[in-house]
Amino acid sequence: MKTVKDYNFSGQKALVRVDFNVPLDAGYNVTDDTRMRAALPTINKILNDGGAVILMSHLGRPKDGPAEKYSLKHVLAHLSKLLNKPVAFAADCIGDVAKNAANALKSGEVLLLENLRFHKEEEKGDVNFAKQLSELGTFYVNDAFGTAHRAHASTAIIAQFFPNNKCFGYVMSGELESVNKVLTSAEKPFTAIMGGAKVSDKILILQQLINKADNIIIGGGMAFTFVKAQGGNIGKSLVEEDKLDTALAILKDAKAKGVNIYIPVDAVIADNFANDANKQTVDIKAIPDGWMGLDIGPETEKTYADVIANSKTILWNGPMGVFEMSSFEHGTKSVAEAIVAATKKGAYSLIGGGDSVAAVNKYNFANEVSYVSTGGGALLEYIESGSLPGVEAVEK
C-alpha cells in the first residue's frame, strides 16, 4: 500500500480528495470538525515536503447544481484556523476559475475547491469531469475513506490519470490497516458484535463474518428476527418477517462452520417506544403482546461481557438497544465497557458503523479502544466485499 509517507512532495501540486462533509449549523458554522482534523496530517506532510495542496471534497447532497447551503466556502475559515495559514478558495472545482487558482498556487500553499457535487458528473463517475479535475494537479492522493465505496469521479475514476503518481493519505491507510488487521490477521478468539435496527442491512456482513470470526454476538432490533425465527414470542418488537428464513440460514451456517453465535436470552421491554414508557425485564422468547424489546437484559449483558473479555480481536458494529434513550442504553454501554476492558488487557478492538461510533463517543471511550473507523458504509462494504472502488483505483 503506497501512502504519502512513501513520497516527497517537493514541487508537486497534490490533488487531495478529503472528506469535509461536516455538519453545519444555521449560521454555517462547523459543529463537528472531526473529519477536517483527520485530514491535517496528510495535508501537513505534503506542505512540509515543499508541495502545494489542492483539496477536493463534497458537502451534503446538493440535488440541482450549486446551492448556498452546501458551499464549501463555509468551512474555509475553520480550515484556515486548523492549518494556521490562509487557504485560497476556487468558487468552482473545474473550468477557468479552478485552473487559474491552481496555476497561481505556490509551494506551501493550500487551495480548497468548491463542492464537487455541484456537478452531477461527480456522482456519475464521469471520465471527462475526472480528467478536468486531474489537470489541476500533478499527484493524486485519496484520503476520503468515508466515500471510498463510491466509484465517483474524484474518489476512483480520476486515479487513471495518475498512473505512477497516486497514493493514499493517512486517514485511508489507517483505516485500511485497521480493517485488514481484523479481517486477515486477527488474533483469535475473534468476536464480531453486530447490532442495530435491521437484519437486512447486515446479512452480507454476517455471511462474511461467519467465515472469519470465532464468536458472533447479536443485539439490537435485529435480534428479534432471530428470536422469532426460532419460535419465540416477541410482542410488537421490531421484526423483518421476510427475513425469518435468512436468520435461520445464518444460524445453520454458523453451526456448520463451528462459529458460536449468541442471541440475547433476556430483554428490557417497554409498552411504548419512549424513554418514559413502562418497562420490565423478561425472557426474550416470552415478550407479552403489546410490549416491545428495546434493549438486551442483564443476563445477556453478562454472557456478552464474558465472551468479549476472552477475545483477542473485537469488531463492533451497531448498538445493542435504543441507546439514544437513557432507559434503554444499558446494554450498549455495558458492551462498550467490556470492549474497553478487553482492549486494556491487550485485545485489538475496531469500532465501526455510525451508531456504534456515536455510542463510543457518548460514553467517551473513543481513546480507550484500538481504532474508531470514520467510514460507516465504506467499512461495512469493505468487510462484505473485500475491497472498495476508491481503494482499487489507487492500487491499480
Residues 177-196 as x/- pattern, contact with ligand AMP by CB under 6 A: -------------------x
Q: Among this protein's residues, is 377 annotated catalytic?
A: yes
Rounded CA-CA distance 104/81 in Å is 22
Interface with ligand AMP includes 389 (CB under 6 A)? no
Q: Is 321 in the site for ligand AMP (CB under 6 A)?
A: yes
Considering only residues 124 to 143 of the shown chain, the ones binding ligand AMP according to CB under 6 A are none
Paired sense of beta strands 13-17 and 139-142, if any: parallel
**Cα–Cα distance, 197 to 216 (Å, whole number):** 16
User: Interacting stretch for ligand AMP, rule CB under 6 A, among 15-23, 131-139, 337-345, 348-356?
Assistant: 348-356
**Shortest spacing between CB 245 and ligand AMP, in angstroms:** 20
Cell numbers representing residue 257 in the block:
462452520
Return d(Cα 344, Cα 352) in angstroms, integer.
Answer: 19
Smallest gap from residue 221 Cβ to ligand AMP (A) = 3
Residue recorded with cell 449560521: 27
The three three-digit cell numbers of residue 251, written as one number: 444460524
**DSSP states of 109-168:** -EEEE--GGGSHHHHHT-HHHHHHHHTT-SEEEE--GGGTTS--TTTTGGGGG-SSSEEE
198 binds ligand AMP (CB under 6 A): yes
The least distance separating ligand AMP from the CB of residue 7, rounded to whole angstroms, comes to 37
Does 220 contact ligand AMP by CB under 6 A?
Answer: yes
By CB under 6 A, tell whether 235 contacts ligand AMP: no
Question: Which residue of 59, 72, 247, 322 would you call a contact of ligand AMP, by CB under 6 A?
Answer: 322
> Quick count: other Cβ atoms within 10 Å of Cβ 1?
13
- Binder of ligand AMP out of 293, 352, 375, 390 (CB under 6 A): 293
Q: Show Cβ contacts of residue 224 under 8 Å, excluding neighbours closer than 6 positions.
A: 234, 237, 238, 239, 284, 293
Please select the residue that binds ligand AMP; options are 355, 375, 379, 394, rule is CB under 6 A: 355
The catalytic site residues sit at 35, 198, 354, 377
Q: Which residues bind ligand AMP (CB under 6 A)?
A: 196-198, 201, 220-221, 238, 293-294, 318-319, 321-322, 324, 353-355
